[in-house]
Amino acid sequence: MDIRKQEAKKRKTEAESLRLQLDLLVGKIVKLRDSDEYGYLNCPICRKQIHIKQSEAMHYKGRSSQNTRYDLLNVHAGCEFCNHTMTERKYQIFSEYIDNKHESGTTSILESLSKQECKRTLNDLRELKAKYTILYNKLKKQKMFSI
């Protein structure tokens, strides 16, 4: 394999690894953001109270949409049951929850973003990881528990 091909392969591997690390970071960030200081939160769909350790990162637009994959407005902590049994009605409740929690029209923006081509570079992924690591550490300090 020539050097140029090897370099390209290395970049691809780093990008894949960063994507996985970002998925984990985003999950941890939204769980901390959405829970109280003791680690409890209500599922946005069924409203059941759960502990952060039982919560999952629930994506409004699925992870296959690269443009919204790490968008913190697109991901919220919810219960495992709702996350795995998403129906049209549940999706609608989730959509209303996001628009109420953030700003009306947030889900419309996410919808259109998800349809656009993702132009994120390797450097963008590195920068996003650095930014989210800082945010994660900041959120962690505000809580009375550890995850």
Q: Where does this chain bind Zn ion (CB under 5 A)?
A: 43, 45-46, 79, 82
Nearer to Zn ion, 100 or 108 (CB): 100
Nearer to Zn ion, 82 or 125 (CB): 82
Gap between the Cα atoms of 119 and 133, Å rounded = 22
Q: What are residue 67's phi and psi, to 5 degrees?
A: -65, -30
Question: Smallest distance from the beta carbon of 124 to Zn ion, in angstroms?
Answer: 33
Gap between the Cα atoms of 30 and 78, Å rounded = 10
Nearer to Zn ion, 45 or 110 (CB): 45
Question: Smallest distance from the beta carbon of 119 to Zn ion, in angstroms?
Answer: 34
Closest CA to 115 of 62, 67, 59: 67
Question: Smallest distance from the beta carbon of 91 to Zn ion, in angstroms?
Answer: 13
SS3 at position 49: strand
Token readout for 105 is 């029209």
